Amino acid sequence: MKNAILLFIVILGINLNAFSQSSTIKGVVKDESGNRVPYATVYLDVNGSPQHGTTTDENGVYKISGLTPGKYTVVIQFLGYQTKKYTDITVTANETAYVNATLQSAAEDLPVIDIICYDCERPLIKPSEPSVEMLTPTDFEHNPNINEPKMMLRALGGIIVAENGKDVYVRGSRPENTQIIVDGVKSPDGEMHIPGQAIGSMKVYTGGVPAIYGDVLGGVVVVNTKGYFDLVKMKK
């Protein structure tokens, strides 16, 4: 009986001694300027497998506790910096091993790129080459919208006419940014006020609007009415 009790005490002592042998790895992580790096990832690489992971606090300090005595590899990572790896860090029973790190930026110098410009003096926008859409009398002859001149603009690209037949959108611009010019006179209310049969041609500037029309944010609809002889010819 005494021998059994003695054996139990010996085993218990061994187990208590094993539990008491808890080691720690601790350190501070800084950058090249000496500033502490908060929330960096720190872990132990055990045979290629990450274990005992943690992060640095707001002061760049980390601590990994509960380790058994032995040798460890400490890996420290942070976005934008090169990974640091410290091998063969020896920790002894009930002791703290200090591993401080200075991270280096992972930024690399990019190679110099030579930019060659061909025809550099050519302007991006040529005022002499505006974007123009046009309707001629031939387009009007059999158009079902002959009595609603604005609706005929639907046949042109980049132009949307609302169902009310009044609002004209040129390449997405607001209706109030579209000017209506009838025989050289700007319409004050954006309406044409002429019957479709009297129109000789309609020209729409959707881009590169000539300076003679002023500061236009949208497009310009230029309407030219038929001449006297054209109207007489229509009546015959």
Res 10: pLDDT: 45
What CATH number does residue 172 fall under?
A: 2.170.130.10
C-alpha–C-alpha distance, residues 30 and 15, integer Å: 39
Within this chain, do residues 169 and 87 fall inside the same structural domain, yes or no? no
pTM metric for this prediction: 0.41
| Count of domains observed in the chain | 2
Q: Could you tell me if 137 and 219 lie in one domain?
A: yes
Task: Report if residue 116 sits inside a domain.
Answer: no
81 and 137 assigned to the same domain: no
158 and 230 part of one domain: yes
* 3-class secondary structure, 68: coil
Report d(CA 141, CA 124) in Å as an integer: 38
Regions of the chain short of the pLDDT cut 70: 1-21, 108-110, 117-130, 228-236
Burial class of residue 205 (count of CB atoms within 10 Å of its CB; 0-12, 13-18, 19+): buried
Q: Is 8 part of any domain? A: no
- At 14 the pLDDT is 47
- Give the domain-ending residue among 87, 102, 117: 102
Contact between 201 and 192 under an 8 Å Cβ cutoff? The reply is no
Domain final position from 62, 83, 102: 102
One domain, residues 46 and 135: no
Question: Looking at the domain assignment, is residue 11 inside a domain?
Answer: no
Q: What is the C-alpha R_g of the chain? A: 42
CA–CA separation, 192 and 18 (whole Å): 98
Q: 97 and 158 share a domain? A: no
Residues 94 and 155 in one domain: no
In a domain, 6, yes or no: no
Do 31 and 91 reside in the same domain of the chain?
yes
The 10s digit of each residue's pLDDT in 191-205 is 877 777 788 888 888
What residue numbers bound the domain in which 82 lies?
25-102
What pLDDT score does 18 carry?
46
Residue 37 token pair? 């790096």
Residue 204 contacts residue 170 (beta carbons within 8 Å): yes
Phi and psi, residue 186, nearest 5°: -75, 130
pLDDT, residue 228, reads 61
Whether residue 20 lies inside any domain: the answer is no
Give pLDDT, residue 119.
Answer: 59
What is the reported pLDDT for 87? Answer: 93
